Amino acid sequence: MPSPYRAIFAAPGTKAFSVAGFFGRIPISMMGIGIVTMISQITGRYGLAGALSATLAMSAAVMGPQISRYVDRYGQRRVLRPATVVAAAAVAGLLICAQQGAPDWTLFVFSAGAGCVPSVGSMVRARWAEIYRGSPRELHTAYSWESIADEVCFIFGPIISIGLSTSWFPEAGPLLAVVFLVVGVFWLTAQRGTEPVPHPRDEHTGGSALASRGLQVLVATFVAVGAIFGSIDVVTVAFAEEQGHKAAASLVLAVYALGSCLAGAVFGLLHLKGRASTRWLLGVCAMAVSMIPLLLAGNLPLLAVALFVAGLSIAPTMVTTMALIEQHVPRTKLTEGMTWTGTGLAVGVALGSSAAGWVVDAAGADAGYAVPVAAGVLAALVAFLGYRRLRTPAPTRGGHGKDGRHIEDGVQDGEHVA
């Protein structure tokens, strides 16, 4: 492990909560595709499978920020454990109803309930922020490490979920996902020493974290970025099927995640100067430009190369986004702020998947790659229009101390990495 990464794990408890967080977040990459695989195998109805997956994504997009808001107020342990129990019970109900051939409406009810799953990645990043507040270089490396963990989940999660559901029994993928969720969350919340200090209701002023104008720009941009991700998944599967190698789609998409993973590893070693907002804008534009070669890929090997290159801009942009959230969201609402970007992504994935499916049905997989290109253009446009909001961080990021005085601990844009 390169020395900057070794250094961040010198703090007590960091290895344990990072591993627990990995197990807790891998269900994010397993659950949606697992439900699609399970339902399509049991019923043969891909339309129903896609609708249930979209219901799960939209439910998580609605409930995720609310769960994180309560976490900021009451602490991770008090909120995450009950939320996880509810989500696990909902998934169990979904599996039983699917296996027993229950009416469709029951599947939608339980899919919506499964959206109560907490944003474990945000919880882990909040712990890093608590430990390395005031140490921007270490925090930059820690966020890069978490982006690597995210990409590893998206490389192996779908492969595990699809493989189990197709080779063992249809419910196996979602079942293992919920086991990972329960183990990861309860292991993470058992570690009280690194849990961020909660901020009671009387410290929360100004409503939701989304009231931050800077966060609004990030979330709006991430809706378009999510549309990139969602459309690429759908179109790549269709493209591989047209090429006669549908099973290869998971490998091609794994290469996409691998590009992001490697870029994140390198990015974490760098100590960049200048404005974080400028790096973020360049990253979003790079993501948009990298979509263009997808229109020119005529076979799977070329597509894999194009997706690998496209993946190189993902993790650095995500890492910089976390730094910007810290600058624009009060400390008392940090977990909620991080979760809102995930909500934007989830909404975008649902929209992008739907749009891509419609285009593929109407004009074929080759034309389907116009959807991520259009989403990339939209992301760059929103980023350009909102750039001025991101250049100036919020005046303060603190809460109020026990004596009632305001705590100012803002980091000026450009001071993120010395």
pTM of the model: 0.75
Domains present along the chain, CATH in parentheses: 14-199 (1.20.1250.20), 208-398+407-418 (1.20.1250.20)
The answer to whether residues 321 and 342 touch, using CB atoms and an 8 Å cutoff, is no
**Is the Cα dihedral 319, 320, 322, 326 positive or negative?**
positive
The DSSP annotation for 241-266 comes to HHTT-GGGHHHHHHHHHHHHHHHHHH
Name, of 179-183, 275-279, 383-387, 406-410, the range with top average pLDDT: 179-183
Lowest mean pLDDT among 19-33, 61-75, 200-214, 252-266: 200-214
DSSP 8-class letter at 207: S
The answer to whether residues 170 and 106 touch, using CB atoms and an 8 Å cutoff, is no
Residue pLDDT, tens place only, 83-140? 999 999 999 999 999 989 899 899 999 999 998 888 888 899 889 888 888 787 888 8
Residue pLDDT, tens place only, 325-383? 878 877 777 777 778 888 888 788 778 877 887 888 788 888 889 999 999 999 999 99
Q: Where are the alpha helices (DSSP H) in 101-135?
A: 104-114, 120-131
